[in-house]
Structure 1
Amino acid sequence: MFRRSLSLLPLLLLATPALAADKVDPKIKADFDKTDTNHDGFLTRAEVDARVARMDVGKAKMPAGKAKAIAGAWFNTADANHDGKVSPAEMQGLFRALASRYDTNHDGVISLDERAAARAAVLGGAGAGPVGR
C-alpha cells in the first residue's frame, strides 16, 4: 500500500523528456535542492522525512504516520547503492523508473491521461480524476 502511495510523489516531475544518463533534469535538481536542507549534495532520511511531512494532500496535511511510512519507502527505494543517502542521480533514477512505468505509450512524456490512469491505479480507482498541472 505504502509503495503504491509513494508513486504519487514524483508525478508532477514526470512530464519532461528523458535527458542523457549523466545529466540530472533541472526540475529534479530543483526539487532535490529544496529537500537538501544542509546543502551537502545528498538527501538524508531526516531531510526526506521533513519534506514529505510538509506535503499537502488535497486541502489537508498528510497524517504524520502515513508521511513517515511514505518517506521511508521512498528513501529505501531511491537509495540504490544502500549507502544511507540519496544522490541527485539516484533520485532521477527512481523518477525515471516511475516514469517508465506510467508512460504507457512510451513517448518519453507522461500525458494528462497517463497521469490520471496512474493516479487511478494508485488510489484503486476511488475519486481518481485528471491530475492538474
Structure 2
Amino acid sequence: MKFRLLIAAILVSTPVVAFAQSNQMEVFERADANRDGLITLAEFKAARTRQFDRFDRNGDGAISQADVGRIAQFRPEIGQRLNMLIQTADANHDRRVTKPEFAASPAPLFERADVNRDGVVDKAELAVLRQALDNER
C-alpha cells in the first residue's frame, strides 16, 4: 500500500517529480558498479544509499524534519520530496529515516524503468525512461 501511495505522489506532484527525475537519473548514471551496461535493483539501491549523507544535513544518522527544514528554506521541491521519503520509508514510524530504512525503501523510478520486469535496467530501458521524464517536464 505504501509503495502505491509513493508512486501516486511522485507521479502527481510536478515539483517533486522534477527533483526526483534529475536526482534519480544521476543515481542511474552512477549505479552500474560492474560497468556491464546493466543496472540491477541492488546496484540502483546501493548508488541511491550513497546519497544518504547528502540528505542527513545535521549528521545525526537519520533524515528527519530537522533536515527538511534547512533544505526546504532554499529548495522547497527537495523539502517536499524529503517529507514524502520520511512518510514512506520510516519503517518503525519514529518520524526519522535511518540509512537501513533508506536502503530498504521502495524504488519507484527503477520499477518504472524496468519495463520488462526482469530486475535489470538496460541502456534501451534507460533511454526510454529519460525520454519519458523529459516529456513530463
TM-score range normalised by the length of the shorter chain:
0.5 to 0.7
Partner of 2:82: 71
Distance (Å, rounded) in 1 between the aligned partners of 2:86 and 2:112: 19
Deviations 1:8-51, CA, capped at 9 Å, x for gaps: 5152224532228xxx61x3233111111222221112313434
Q: Secondary structure of the equivalent of 1:76? A: helix
CA shift for structure 1 position 84: 0.8
Residue 108 of structure 2 corresponds to residue 101 of structure 1: no
- Asked whether the equivalents of residues 2 and 69 of structure 1 are also in contact (C-alpha less than 8 Å), the reply is no
**2:135 maps to 1:115:** no
Q: Percent identity?
A: 24
Distance 2:87 2:107 in 1: 16
Q: Normalising by structure 2, what TM-score?
A: 0.56
CA shift for structure 1 position 95: 4.8
- 1:1-133 equivalences in 2 (<5 Å): 2-4=9-11, 5=13, 6-8=16-18, 9=20, 10-12=23-25, 13-14=27-28, 16=31, 17-19=40-42, 25=46, 27-51=47-71, 54-55=74-75, 64=76, 67-107=78-118, 108-109=120-121, 111-118=126-133, 120=135, 123=136, 128=137
Residue 52 to residue 19, structure 1, CA distance change in 2 (3 Å): farther
Instruction: State the shift of 1:53 in Å.
Output: 5.2
In the superposition, the TM-score normalised over structure 1's length comes to 0.58
Q: How many residues align?
A: 109
Unaligned runs of 5+ in 1: 56-63, 129-133
Distance 1:44 1:18, change over 3 A: same
Whose strand proportion is higher, 1 or 2?
2
| Alignment gaps of 5+ in structure 2 | 1-7, 32-39
Structure 2 SS opposite 1:43? strand
